[in-house]
Each structure stands twice: as structure tokens, then as C-alpha cells.
Structure 1
Amino acid sequence: MTTIYNPLDIFARKQKVGADDTRLIAMPAMIHLDAAKRGQCTASGANFLTQHLIIASFIAARTKSKAFHGQVTKAYAALQKASARPTKLLDLTTGEHKAIAAAIKTYLCAMPNVEVGVMNDACKVAERAMQ
């Protein structure tokens, strides 16, 4: 059976995320990352960072960027290690912070050029992974 798509849906999926939407994600990402550096990041902040690293991993895989995917993999491992510590608030070491900050920076730089459809798919994957 052939699926017939609405041409407007296809067009909408090809649009780029853009700088405005990227800025809406950048600010909370930087706030949570700074809080984690200071040992003051709450569980919701840690979840936000985790979710966006999962999205970044999906985007890196779709763009076939080995360097970006390597950064995200390293950052995700660092976040898992930090999250496993028996503390109420996320507290990153200097090395963990550097790894996560580098991956988030690359993710935010790449995001304006990501197609909305790819971002939507990445968000769905992250949502399923976070459940």
C-alpha cells in the first residue's frame, strides 16, 4: 500500500529549525550546564541535558558526522557517570563538564541547519528513551 503525503507536510518537514528556535533551547541548556558545573543541577536539569544529548546523537547519526557523534557519545558517558553518583543534585567534574559543554556547543551550532522533520524524529526518539 502506498502512502499519500500532503505536499504541505513534506514542505514543512524540509524547513530548517533556524536560529530563533535554537536560542530557545540554548539558554536553558547553558543554565543547566552551569548549574551542573556548580553542583546545583536538579533532576529536571539533568533530564533536560540527557534529552538533548540523545537528540544530538540522533542528529549526528543522520548527518553522518563521526566527530560530532564521538563528542556526543563521550558527553553522554560523562553525564551517565555523574548521574550515577549518590547525590541529590548533579555535580560535574571539570572533565565531565568539558565533554558535555563541547557536545552541547556542537549541537547548538548544528541545530539551525537541521531540517524540522529530522528534529521532530530526534525528539520522538529522545522522548521514548526518557520514558
Structure 2
Amino acid sequence: MALDYYSVLNVKRKASDDEVKRAYKRQALIWHPDKNPASKQSEAEKKFKQISEAYEVLGDPRKRLIYDVEAIKSVQFPPPRPSSSCAPAAASRCHQKHHNRQQHPDIVKLRVFGEEGFWVRVHPTNCN
């Protein structure tokens, strides 16, 4: 599972750049390996690396924007359930039907109308 950089720094997603910077400094002071006893050394190193990685992304406005967009894209929605009219044997066809709805409109147009387009298929010029 990927790290949630906001939770690593303990800030909200709408936190300002200054809030992110303050949170980084606060967490870095707590988890810096030199500030922790030998018994917590490995945990402190791991947490400090996570904190540094989180700040590297959230501290840079461009990287933060990319991170936020990718997080939105990665939200997993459950796959569409076959309707009651789809028999189990036809479930793969139903899935394909639902899958086509998620494709780019230009791809769908090409599949439906072909490369020539709708008008050429409805009104062919070759009338043999």
C-alpha cells in the first residue's frame, strides 16, 4: 500500500505550504535518528525517511499537484455489476458492454461508425 503523505506529516489535504513546512519540521525533530535512543533507532530511521519523502513531494507545489491528481485517479470504484437481464454465461459480454461506456468517445465513434463516419455509411456514393 502506498504512503499517504498527508497522514505521514499529519496535515489536512488543504493545508497551506507553510502548514506543510511546519508539520515537516515538527515531525523531523521528533523522528530524527540522532534524537532517538538506540532502542528506537530502526523505527526512527524508517519514519524519518517517510517524513522526508512526504515533504519532498508536498513541499514542492508542482509535485504536490501531480500527487493529488494521481491520488484522485487511483480511487478504485467497484466494477459494474451485471444487470439482472445478463445470464451468468453472458456475463463477460455484459461486462464488455459496460466497459465500452468508459472508453474515449472517439474510439466508440470509430467502432460504431467506422473510419468513414456515419454519413458515408448511411448515404453511400456507390449505388450499384
Q: TM-score, normalised by structure 2?
A: 0.34
Which has more helix, going by share of residues? 1
Higher relative contact order (CA 8 A, sep 6+): 1
**Structure-1-length-normalised TM-score:** 0.34
Asked which structure has the greater CA Rg, the reply is 2
